[in-house]
């Protein structure tokens, strides 16, 4: 089974990224052959600054490797190092109905947030389809906000196969039910768009300050509190053992336990959890050539698979 995932280099990776996508990608290494790419083509729709893009690509690569990505089991590469995906995007575009893209909610959401209404942003789902189909992917882990894009991918693959003959594997989506929405420091879904994130890696003082700024209600130290309606507890359960979590809930209900105490416990659990990854990250920062070599080898492997698919796709449509 071939599994495919991608992540945009849109800023510092945060704990929402980790528990929502990165941890899943690392765990899926055990289930099959994994292709994981840094989606720098996609990021051009919202991140036009050249220097910032280059920096963020390397940051994402380093962070993923630090978080446990096994390059012996994974093909890890930069999307733009496999330009064949752009050719496949065009082939898929010729059969993609405009209505299919007009119904895509992601485009409307981005425009509503102030992003330029470009053709690239509008046709984003077609490039995503090419990313998936060019590697003949069987399984694609997606968040609920990307489920519609995967449905578009399946629609395009089926339509292409029906018109030109069997060319693409029809991928299935994988949305783990255990992955809850990770709250940000303001209680909304943790997202760079909301500016409410806690980074995976950062200076101790910076992360502590963010944790201490998590929004709570106005209940005082002595007041009993509801742990099921608290952002601190929702985050703490990601890092704590079952016994630690139950103890915090017990103290919440009993009273005499303030939000400051809970935030300190959360910070300590979070800091300890990512400790081994911080150490690995420092080692990678000291050897960037090693990181570049991993991405290069991954791109070569991905390119070989992309070439196989493109031979079939070109023949199918009558180009060669």
Distance CA 97, CA 163 (A): 14
User: Does the active-site annotation cover 110?
Assistant: yes
Residue tagged active-site, from 110, 225, 237, 249 = 110
- From 50, 130, 170, select the one nearest 306 (Cα to Cα): 130
The sign of the dihedral angle between the CA atoms of 222, 226, 230, 233 is: positive
Q: List, in sequence order, every residue forming a beta bridge with 199; answer none if it has no partner.
A: 14
Catalytic residue among 12, 23, 73, 189: 189
Element (H, E) at 131: helix 124-133
Neighbours of 162 (CB within 10 A): 10
Edge to edge, what strands does the sheet with 33-38 contain?
74-78, 33-38, 2-7, 139-141, 172-174
Beta carbons of 254 and 261 less than 8 angstroms apart: no
Catalytic annotation present for 189: yes
Name the strand (E) or helix (H) holding 174.
strand 172-174
- CA-CA distance, 131 to 294, in Å (whole number)? 20
Angstrom distances, CA of residue 144 to CA of 5, 122, 124, 175: 14, 19, 17, 7
* Nearest residue to 179 via CA among 20, 64, 303: 20
Long-range contacts of residues 16-22, Cβ cutoff 8 Å, at least 24 apart: 16/182, 16/184, 16/189, 16/190, 16/191, 16/197, 17/200, 18/67, 18/200, 19/179, 19/182, 19/238, 20/143, 20/179, 20/182, 21/141, 21/143, 22/63, 22/64, 22/67
Q: Quick one: which of 137, 148, 139 has its CA closest to 309?
A: 137
Select which of 12, 23, 159, 192 is catalytic: 192
The residues that are catalytic are 110, 189, 192
């Amino acid at each position: 089974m071939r599994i495919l995932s991608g992540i945009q280099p849109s800023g510092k990776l945060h704990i929402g990224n980790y528990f929502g996508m990165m941890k899943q990608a690392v765990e899926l290494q055990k289930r099959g052959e994994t292709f994981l790419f840094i989606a720098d083509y996609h990021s051009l729709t919202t991140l036009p600054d050249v220097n910032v893009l280059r920096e963020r690509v390397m940051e994402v690569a380093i962070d993923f490797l630090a978080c446990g990505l096994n390059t012996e089991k994974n093909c890890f590469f930069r999307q733009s190092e496999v330009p064949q995906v752009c050719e496949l995007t065009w082939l898929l575009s010729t059969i993609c109905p405009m209505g299919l893209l007009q119904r895509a909610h992601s485009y409307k959401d981005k425009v509503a947030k102030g992003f330029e209404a470009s053709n690239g942003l509008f046709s984003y789902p077609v490039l995503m389809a090419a990313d998936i189909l060019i590697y003949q992917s069987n399984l694609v882990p997606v968040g609920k906000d990307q489920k519609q894009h995967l449905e578009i991918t399946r629609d395009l693959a089926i339509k292409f196969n029906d018109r030109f003959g069997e060319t693409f594997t029809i991928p299935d989506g994988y949305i783990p039910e255990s992955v809850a929405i990770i709250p940000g420091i303001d209680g909304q879904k943790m997202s760079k768009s909301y500016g409410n994130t806690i980074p995976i890696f950062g200076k101790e003082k910076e992360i502590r300050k963010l944790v201490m700024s998590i929004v709570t209600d106005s209940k005082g130290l002595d007041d009993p509190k509801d742990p099921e309606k608290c952002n601190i507890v929702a985050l703490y359960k990601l890092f704590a053992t079952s016994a630690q979590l139950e103890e915090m809930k017990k103290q919440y209900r009993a009273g005499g336990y303030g939000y400051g105490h809970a935030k300190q416990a959360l910070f300590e659990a979070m800091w300890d959890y990512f400790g081994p990854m911080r150490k690995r990250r420092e080692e990678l920062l000291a050897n960037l050539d090693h990181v570049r070599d991993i991405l290069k080898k991954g791109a070569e492997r991905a390119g070989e698979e992309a070439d196989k698919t493109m031979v079939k796709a070109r023949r199918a449509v009558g180009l060669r």
